[in-house]
Structure 1
Amino acid sequence: MRRRILARLAIATCATSLPVSLLVTAPASADSSSSQNDKKNHQSDDLRRIGYFTQWGVYGRDFQVQDLDKSGAAARLTHINYAFGNVSPEGKCFLDSVPGEGDPWADYVRPIDAANSVDGVADTYSQPLAGNFNQLAKLKEKHPGLKVLISLGGWSWSTHFSHAVSTPAKRKAFVKSCVDLYIKGNLPQDGTRGGEGAAAGVFDGIDVDWEWPGSSGEDDTPYTPADKKNFTALIREFRTELDGYAKAQQKQGQQRKHYELSAFVPTAPAKIDAGFEVRKIMRDFDFVNLQGYDFHVSGEKTTNQQSALYAKDDFSVNQTVNDWLRRGAPADKLVVGMPLYGQGWTGVSGGGDGLHQPNTGPAPAKHQAGYEDYKELKKLAASGTYKVYRDKKNGHAWLFDGNSLWTYDDPKVLRTKAEYVVDRGLGGAMVWSLDGDTADGEGIRAIDRGLDDD
């Protein structure tokens, strides 16, 4: 089975690879005792607050859509990106129960009991929509203004993008299939589940997560120089199709709706230039999510920062923002990606604070070596075994116990980055991924408060 995107091998050679301690007081949990300030719903604000919900998180992490409501995250988010939709070898959006290629069971077949349902009502056998899709629909009912986008591709499922967009006819067929499946909600029939229009209204737009047009991604993902212009044409086709569908709905007496279009885009200048005609694509995008993490990863031989706000002669959030601005992207369409996980190494030698030192490999972790959720790193920080280090000038943190090092964003770092978004007049903040946060949503709360500091 192919890995899904626990590694956003985004920068390695000019492109890396793979997808903190708590020094702030934990905020109140999301219940009736929360302060009025904590209850604020920011879904009408200009600044976007975006979080990726992982399809597979309902299994090993037992992270359900309902948890977004219980944690208070849903009330603070403007968008949820559902990861991921796959692209078939034929160049179409599809949902199929092939191991490693699709999971309709998690998406819309799996019955949710009352205890795990957003509204406390269990799914029935006869309803056409269940699983994550139905819970997302319920979450939107509870939080009006919250938008859900289907994110297409990701690290593992970008394999067939280049083929799917290689000609005008293929692009048209690909885009039509995605709109039909996710926007119109015409799901494959699976027993009593699915059917025409079964998921209509769940998704409010498309997030294109092709990693990467015009340059290398995962080993089995082909790319060509033609991807750059074809990507531009793909986004134009998506914009045309989505707007056309909105007009058709209006003619049928429905309220006119704007379907949003976004993308996850890289930090490395070489990858930007290889795959993106920035000025052209930004005309059609509502916004893009900038890669703000995996600058260095646990597969590297030397420990380093993975998500610094500033860095000299290295990748950083500020460098990424400036590179996109210089190429013509409007500031208010740039959303800064932030991690709710850390990259880690073990066998770190050389002494000191552990940074920029040799190591013997990825650090042991709960789910994947070298990759750990923030909620688990918080426990390490509180254990007394690890010491928290901060580079206050460059805006990043790490944990080190003399042998293992974890580079990550804790709430203090996240809030600083959110304040940076405000100061630079950017479009908002995005996190990968929501299942890495604590049960009371510390990461999302920190970002929310930072974005409010204007």
Structure 2
Amino acid sequence: MPRRTSALLAAVTVAAVLAPTAAQAHTAPRLNGQRVGYFTQWGVYSGFEFKNVQTSGQAAKLTVINYAFGNVSAEGKCFEANEAGVGDAWADYQRPVGAEQSVDGRADTTEQPLKGSFNQLRKLKAKNPQLKAVISLGGWTWSKYFSDAALTDASRKVFVSSCLDLYLRGNLPQLGSAEGGAGAGAGVFDGIDLDWEYPGGGGDAGNVSRPEDGHNFTLLVQEFRRQLDELGKKSRQHYLLTAAVAANETVADRLELPQVARSVDWLNLMTYDLHGPWEGTGPTAHQANLFADPADPSPTQRSADKVVRHYVERGLPARQTVLGVPFYAHGWTGVQPGPKKNGLYQPATAAVADLPYKDVKNLPGTVHTDWLRGAGWKYDGTTLYTFDTPEVLSYKAAYSRLGGLGGVMLWALDNDDSSGTLVKALDKGLKF
């Protein structure tokens, strides 16, 4: 179980992480721990392709890519569609990818049954043998019908079977085009990730929720494990089963963690968004600090470490606990410096739009790091952004490694810069 790091240990850890040894510099990289990176379906519309994951160096330093997201229908099934806010089969497997955007430099041909991001993901895996891919189901906007799908033994069997048929067997609907067909997507995905936000409620407005969702979540992962293992016996492989879970103790306590742990490979803790723009007038605060700060005026003084401890103490083995980290920044404006904290824990006039790391790093202002809390922020005298710097990410990855956790998960790959700076920082910390 991870221990709270003292100031001395923190300093030693950081020094070691930021100054790799000669042996580390001249030996082949070893991928310690899980490195789970989310690739967003919609990122291709802003020019982020799987080729970028390859050319930035991200792919070589990841073990799993979570493709976000697959939707759950009102009938309790996995499905594909071309309808705004419902599904994007065009981005997934129908969109022709040209040579310049392709992982291997080869353009899609007219007769291919599989195009789009799914085909590029398959190519990316071919270039990076250590890399697995899972389809992430749900997310904030597509978790509406999870509760219905998990409600009964019959509904769970139907739901799980539909997901395996669509994404693992690769039986993609043609939807009025030549792409798709029986087995067209086979070999793209190596498992399922459940992003049910959240069992028992607390997610997006309009989501179906029930008091028994926590228990039904257990039964759902058990059904996924059963059907995945049956399919794995035929294909002679182990299919991954993971889930993203809330950085919220109340939501966590709805889950039957010891039972869930017996079915999943690991759980990805969404240990970010601890504070953010929903607190529009402040006080400003860290969104993903590793350790609690006694100076934090909020009554709960939240931290990623507290979340990790909560899950482990309630039955999730440390080795199946994956620490989530953000590749984006929350921010506020109209922030005064305050007495000591350079804008931190001060009132604000308004929140500002979230920014990816690749943009916030170039903004004016001074970057501040609190090594004892494992947190960073940028402040220009009026606007403050809370985000994880590369150094903080290395620190967090070392925390995961030293604490015997399963690894790190990041949201999301397209927020990194073209050199893959943040993924490289995580890799550095996991080598400690």
Q: Residue 451 in 1 paired to residue 427 in 2?
A: no
State how far apart, in whole Å, the 2-side matches of 1:135 and 1:403 are.
Answer: 43
Matches within 5 A, 1:8-407: 37=25, 40=28, 42=30, 45-60=31-46, 62-190=47-175, 191-249=177-235, 256-274=236-254, 276-300=255-279, 301-302=281-282, 303-312=284-293, 313-349=300-336, 351-352=338-339, 353-363=342-352, 369=353, 371-380=354-363, 385-407=364-386
Counterparts of 1:315 and 1:82 in 2: how far apart (Å)?
29
Distance in 1 (alpha carbons) for counterparts of 2:215 and 2:307 = 22
Cα gap change, 1:295 to 1:134, in 2 (>3 Å): same
Local SS of the residue matching 1:338: strand
Contact 2:337–2:344 (CA under 8 A) maintained in structure 1? no
Query: Contact 1:232–1:281 at 8 Å: present in 2 too?
Result: yes
Q: Deviations over 1:238-258 (max 9, x none)?
A: 000000111233xxxxxx100
TM-score by length of 2: 0.90
Residue 350 of structure 1, CA deviation: 6.2
Unaligned runs of 5+ in 1: 1-23, 28-34, 250-255, 364-368
State, as a whole percentage, how many aligned pairs show the same letter: 49
Match of 2:415 in 1: 436
For residue 98 of structure 1, report the CA deviation from its aligned partner: 1.1
List runs of 5+ in structure 2 lacking aligned partners.
Answer: 1-14, 294-299
User: What amino acid is the match of 1:401?
Assistant: D
* Residue aligned with 1:58, SS: helix
Runs of 4+ in 1 over 6 A off after TM superposition: none
Residue 215 (structure 1) shift: 2.6
- By how many angstroms is 1:36 displaced? 9.2
Residue by residue over 1:405-428, the C-alpha shift from the partner in whole angstroms, topping out at 9 and shown as x without a partner, is 100001000000011011101100
Alignment root-mean-square deviation, CA: 1.8
Q: Secondary structure at the match of 2:126?
A: helix
CA positional deviation for 1:222: 2.2
Distance 1:206 1:37 in 2: 35
Tell me if structure 2 keeps the 8 A contact 1:136–1:202.
yes
Shift of 1:452: 0.4
Q: What displacement does 1:360 show?
A: 2.2
Q: Secondary structure at the match of 2:84?
A: coil
Compute the displacement of 1:167 (Å): 0.9
TM-score w.r.t. the length of structure 1 is 0.86
Does the CA contact (< 8 Å) of 2:337 and 2:381 recur in 1?
no
